[in-house]
Chain A
């Protein structure tokens, strides 16, 4: 019995030991595979030379014998993918046809994919399949260039881009919504009297099934708009008022000759229900404005644009440091009383600077107080001018001698030399005479000024009491 028990124990021990030397363990010990992760899948390059950019792997890690991956591009709304680079591994990081690459092993692997600059076709893509529109781009990394598919790490990178017509323009985007892509004149620009109005709108196929209004208009801001924006009193001209009937890109262009002044151009897309009735809850609704100047701005026009930017800063911008970011303190959900009150009542920001600049040009510099403002500006000016020099004729020799000599005095040199001399006086610890005495002298001057003013006020009161 004991023999059987021993034999059973030995058998169990052998089985247990055998599990530690399984084929799986042996493979892992000889060929460890390091996960090849995908990081930073983005776009780079400039207009005309669009590039996709990805970073794979980790710095300082070797990936011997491993493939890097594949790109797939999916035209938006379809499931037909096109392998456009690096099929089945075997990636050569220096292959100029498909990739531009920096270093490969022992560092972060960076590589980019370039569009063909001539025919807008991507490398390895079926000819003629790359049309204008949105594309999804997927990148997958692998680990073994021999047994490619079974060794996928299933690390993916996703991105979207927009392939534009005309020039080789790839716009990175994750936005396939119906939206205003661009319109001109751009914000804050100054144009000539011949103004080009351009509008580019993208319409998602899902949105074209219902009525979609597109509108573009411009407004002159120099007249009739000081107080109100009542239609009829404003100088608004409608450039375009139409409805979208097809999806995709919508372009509009026109040219107008406009007189000098301040203007605002507005682009608008609206979802309408019946006729001209707008659906106020549609996410498609969008209104954007650009303010621009034709040749020369006017005082009223500048203030109009300034005030509009003030409102737009609250309603339009969403960056954390913007006015909208500050306005979030007044949101009931993120309410903070001190910041909210500060946002409401403490003046500041670029808009206030613009208002003060308008105050100077429109009020402070006008007759009659403009003379005082000019006086203030001269006194407040830090510009320097050269000091006048002078010559002195000296008679030399005894009395009656007519021989003279001339001495020239350059006051600029004298002053500068004197200043340099005064500044060179130090206390031995690197402190100049100015460093030591200036705070004391400023204090004395400030006290003297205060005493003079105080004495004046007190003397007034003293005289007043004496009269009483």
Chain B
């Protein structure tokens, strides 16, 4: 209950500030190429494919996990610079 209230308070306080920023509903269109529609349709087709061949879904999830790891490392490198883990 205490955590619920704390989280609610933090979300309320932070949200009151960032709520003023514009909301992102779709990815941008660059040079006439609609990235959002392309990715959305592509993922839909991939889901159709993996609904029959489930093996590729698991492989894809594995790649996402690895990609997430490298993303976190990249973010740490951006934020911490040379103090990032493994970059001394």
Contact = CB atoms under 8 A, between A and B. Distances in A.
Contacts of B26: 374
B81 interface: no
B56 to A, nearest CB: 11
B48 A412 contact: yes
B15 A453 contact: no
A415 interface: yes
A314 B45 CA distance: 48
Interface string B34-75: 001001110111011101111100110110111001000100
Contact of B86 (A348, A416, A461): A461
B1 A314 contact: yes
Interface in A409-468: 412, 415-416, 418-420, 422, 434, 438, 441-442, 445-446, 448-449, 452-453, 456-457, 460-461, 463-464, 467
A445 B22 contact: no
Contact of B4 (A351, A442, A446): A351
B52 to A, nearest CB: 2
A448 B62 contact: yes
A453 B44 contact: no
Given A307-B12, A352-B4, A418 B66 contact: no
Contact of A362 (B3, B19, B49): B19
B54 A367 contact: no
A349 B52 contact: no
Task: Kindly name the residue among B1, B12, B21 whose own CB sees the greatest number of chain A CB atoms within 10 A.
Answer: B1
Task: Kindly name the residue among A304, A314, A359, A457 whose own CB sees the greatest number of chain B CB atoms within 10 A.
Answer: A359
A344 interface: yes
Which DSSP category, helix, strand, loop or mixed, fits chain B's interface? helix
B19 A366 contact: yes
Interface stretch (A10-18, A95-103, A154-162, A381-389): A381-389
Contacts of A251: none
B34 to A, nearest CB: 12
Contacts of A323: 1
Interface string A8-29: 0000000000000000000000
A367 B21 contact: yes
Contact of A382 (B11, B24, B47, B62): B47
B37 to A, nearest CB: 10
B76 to A, nearest CB: 11
B40 to A, nearest CB: 5
B48 to A, nearest CB: 4
B88 interface: yes
A303 B8 contact: yes
B33 interface: no
A345 B2 CA distance: 6
Contacts of B7: 347, 352, 355
Query: In which size bucket is the chain B interface?
Result: 35 or more
Nearest to A226: B16
A363 B49 contact: no
B8 A355 contact: yes
A343 interface: yes
A420 B51 CA distance: 10
A243 interface: no
A299 B19 contact: yes
Given A363-B15, A464-B86, A452 B44 contact: no
A307 B43 contact: no
Contacts of A307: 5, 8-9, 12
Contacts of A378: 27, 36, 39-40, 43
A385 B48 contact: yes
Contacts of B85: 460
Given A303-B8, A370-B23, A453-B69, A384 B51 contact: yes
A362 B18 contact: yes
Nearest to B52: A419
A167 to B, nearest CB: 41
Contacts of B1: 310, 314, 323, 326-327, 343-345
A363 B66 contact: no
Contacts of B47: 381-385
Contacts of A449: 62, 65-66
Nearest to B40: A378
A387 B54 CA distance: 16
- Please name the 3 residue pairs, one residue from A and one from B, whose CB atoms are nearest each other, closest first: A419-B52, A460-B86, A385-B44
Given A367-B24, A378-B36, 20 more contacts: A300-B15, A300-B19, A307-B12, A310-B8, A345-B2, A358-B11, A359-B15, A366-B21, A367-B23, A381-B47, A385-B45, A386-B48, A415-B52, A418-B53, A445-B61, A448-B62, A449-B65, A449-B66, A453-B69, A460-B87
14 contacts: A303-B12, A347-B4, A355-B4, A363-B14, A366-B23, A367-B22, A374-B36, A378-B40, A384-B51, A385-B48, A386-B48, A387-B45, A445-B62, A461-B86
Interface of B: 1-5, 7-9, 11-16, 18-19, 21-28, 36, 39-41, 43-45, 47-49, 51-55, 58-59, 61-62, 64-66, 69, 73, 85-88
